[in-house]
Amino acid sequence: MKKKGVYIIAEIGTNHNGSLKKALSMIDQLSKADIDAVKFQLANPKEVYSYDAFKAAYQKKNDKSETVLKMSQKLQISKQGHIKLKKRCKARGITYSCSAFDLESLSFLDKKLKVPFFKIPSGEINSSDMISYISRRNKKIILSTGMSTLNEIKNTVKKLKKFGNKRITLLHCVSSYPVEEKDINLNILDTLKKKFGCEIGYSDHSIGSQACLAAVAKGAKIIEKHVTTSSKQAGPDHKASMNINDFKKLVKKIRKLEIILGTEEKKFSKNELEIKKMARKSIVTSRSLQKGHIIKKSDLTFKRPGTGLPPTMISYLVGKKIKKNIKENKVLKKSYIQ
């Protein structure tokens, strides 16, 4: 992960609809945007879903599969396929990343694909087997916090730090697909940063770009956004995803916003320094002064430009002797004073 700038993750997830060819094509398209990583999802559905598992309302609406298990099975790309996805990402100059939903998939991503960071999905924040595994690996961690109480976040962060790893970024997330504007609540970013001392980011499920831009303005170091080739496709996540062309526009807006936000240092542009000379005031003579004159406060006034001694130096000047004759309404220079 890069050290500077907002780290932008294009969340393909399962929006390839189980097609390796489509996933590779999406990587190609996204590599033309100024992003850092694409992210997929990997799971063994039989290890994730029990016989009692069920679909969320949005999944029922957006996917016609008979069961949640069948839905997940048809959306998976094989492990060999994920190896090809990583190779394509490398060839296109962007990072391959992936979320795991079971321990075996997590181990595969870690040891075989050597993902550069662990991305813990919101639903896995209490999965103690995976949290324990991740805590023992010295790798950067991105933890989504959708559906999680502050106490749950605290307990999981504590477990993740158990063996000394403090490289954790908390992503604010609202696990609603799509999330309504009134529920986004980006001010929680301040709470997460203050309470847990971690870097913060935002995983977005809203429609449009405003929430991501606002999150960047609030200090988000990571932005994750679901992308699709078309939100009209059948599949659980397409309706809450941004099409790739609009996503590219969002990335440009984020990169421009980064420039606008700048740094925490107080800096001056060349133009501003020029304006400063014009717009600031200097100490100016209110009457003609003769060589040897002892300066009184009434001899001076404040006028533009700001190329001379600043008004804050008036106390220093009172009582000083003039070296040369000075006309009225002239900027007083330090070289004129004994």
pLDDT in tens, 69-104: 999 999 999 999 999 999 999 999 999 999 999 999
Q: What is the pLDDT of residue 64?
A: 87
* Residue-range definition of the domain harbouring residue 318: 270-336
Q: What is the pLDDT of residue 117?
A: 98
Where residue 332 sits, what CATH number does that domain have? 3.90.1210.10
Residue 277 lies in a domain: yes
User: Do residue 175 and residue 250 come from a single domain?
Assistant: yes
Q: What is the pTM of this model?
A: 0.91
Q: What is the pLDDT of residue 218?
A: 98
Cα–Cα distances in Å, from 89 out to 11, 25, 250, 259, 281? 13, 11, 21, 27, 57
What is the per-residue pLDDT across 230-280, written as a single tens digit (0 to 9) for each?
Answer: 999 988 999 999 999 999 999 999 999 999 999 999 999 999 999 999 999
- DSSP 8-state secondary structure symbol assigned to residue 180: P
Q: What is the pLDDT of residue 1?
A: 52
| Max Cα-Cα span within the chain | 101
Where residue 15 sits, what CATH number does that domain have? 3.20.20.70
Q: Which residues of the chain have pLDDT under 50?
A: 3
User: Do residue 256 and residue 320 come from a single domain?
Assistant: no
Q: Which residues are 223's β-sheet partners?
A: 8, 202
User: Do residue 207 and residue 332 come from a single domain?
Assistant: no
SS3 157: helix
Q: How far apart are CA 304 and CA 206, in angstroms?
A: 51
